[in-house]
Amino acid sequence: MMYCPRCGQQQISDQTKFCSRCGFQLGLIPELLTHGGFLPQLAELTKKKTIFNKKNGVIFGILWFITFTMLFTAIMGILNASDEPMAVSAVIGVFGAMMIIIGSLALLPSSKQFRLPLQMQPQIPNPLPNAAGLHGGPQHALPPQQSQPASSYVPPPGGWRADTSDLGVPNSVTESTTRLLQKEEDR
């Protein structure tokens, strides 16, 4: 028999897909147990990432922009170069950076690294409610019942009484109109 790793509920069959108590997905538990707590399908997520990823591509595009647009044009201005090389450098800087950034965002893999735990250690709560201290921890229960006698509830002083006449069932519009017409005829 199999037990749910989340709540400790004993399952009817080893083929059960979800826990009958908490709804935890049990379909991958046998595969996790056969592979020592690790799924082989997720092995490539833990591989070392290459230097060619989206984050590094965007950083390279920004550095490209700064280098060609700002640095090279300033150096050419200091060296009294003609306007044409400065303009070419600026154009290469702007459009080259745009192509590098868009290309890296569209084509390169993500730079996020997925980290999986080495061992899955589920926390199984105490399935026996009356076994206090079975797992060494304190037993949590509801607070004791508190009761208050009805004699402690008294009306406020001063003979206060609520007017409940407006809580009755309201009459229909036609009945109210008919009564008003009858009162006018009686006069």
Give the per-residue pLDDT at 161: 67
Inter-residue contact 4 to 26 (CB < 8 Å): yes
What are the backbone dihedrals phi and psi of residue 123, each rounded to the nearest 5 degrees, phi first? -95, 110
pLDDT-based confidence at 122, cuts 50/70/90? very low
Domain boundary assignment for the chain = 1-42, 54-107
Inter-residue contact 14 to 3 (CB < 8 Å): no
pLDDT-based confidence at 95, cuts 50/70/90? very high
Residue with tokens 């080259």: 96
Listing DSSP states for the chain in one string gives --B-TTT-PBPS-TT-SB-TTT--B-TTHHHHHHTTS--GGGGGGGSPPPS-SHHHHHHHHHHHHIIIIIIIHHHHHHTT--HHHHHHHHHHHHHHHHHHHHHHHHHSPP-------SS-------S-TT-TTTTSSPPP-PPPP----GGG--PPTTT-----GGGSPPPPHHHHHHHHHHHHHH-
Give the per-residue pLDDT at 159: 66
Inter-residue contact 56 to 64 (CB < 8 Å): no
Give the per-residue pLDDT at 167: 63
* CA gap 71, 65 in Å, rounded: 9
pTM assigned to the model: 0.39
Q: Which neighbouring-strand residues pair with 111?
A: none
pLDDT digits (tens, 9 = 90+) for 49-72: 678 889 999 999 999 999 999 999
Mean pLDDT across the stretch 163-180? 71
* CA gap 165, 20 in Å, rounded: 53
Tokens representing 40 are 């082989």
